[in-house]
Amino acid sequence: MKKYTKSILLSFVLLAVPAVVFATGKEVAFLPEEVEEILEVVNLLLALLAATFAIKLAALSQGGELEKTWNILAMAAVTFAGVEVIGALKEFELVEVAGLGEILELTFVALLCFVFYRTRKNLLKRVLGK
């Protein structure tokens, strides 16, 4: 665990510092608007691609030892793709459904937490023989 402590602290700092800056309420332009739009499209395409691959992997693992893990990861990937679709629709001012993005984000994070917890529990059981 000690070998990961520095990585965890560095990750926290890299995430916390921008959060504190943005929490001041002042709008800070980090990227030009054109670059943001391009990144939004790239994120959307990658999220859809990841969801597609996750579904295919889950289909291949049916009946295997990690079947439930892959099924939950596929659900998380599809949920994340939904977050990106909602974000893109909002970014390009096509449609905005207030609160739907937050619900999908919560679902995505909850699925990830659940699958990581479950996988850790199963791996510990296998390693420790409990």
**104: Cβ contacts below 8 Å, ≥ 6 apart:** 79, 82, 83, 86
Query: In this predicted model, what pLDDT tens digit does every residue of 7-41 receive, in sequence order?
Result: 777 777 777 767 666 666 677 677 788 888 899 99
17: number of Cβ within 10 Å? 10
- Domains of the chain, by residue range, sit at 31-128
Would you call 62 helix, strand, or coil by DSSP?
coil
C-alpha distances out from residue 73 to 31, 104, 118, Å? 31, 14, 12
Place of tokens 């510990």: 124
- The amino acid sitting at 111 is L
Q: How far apart are CA 34 and CA 88, in angstroms?
A: 14
Would you call 59 helix, strand, or coil by DSSP?
helix
Average of pLDDT values for 63-74? 87
Query: In this predicted model, what pLDDT tens digit does every residue of 73-83 receive, in sequence order?
Result: 999 999 999 99
Average of pLDDT values for 59-66? 83
As given in the structure block, the two tokens for residue 35 are 């670059």
Q: pLDDT above 70 covers what percent of the chain? A: 87
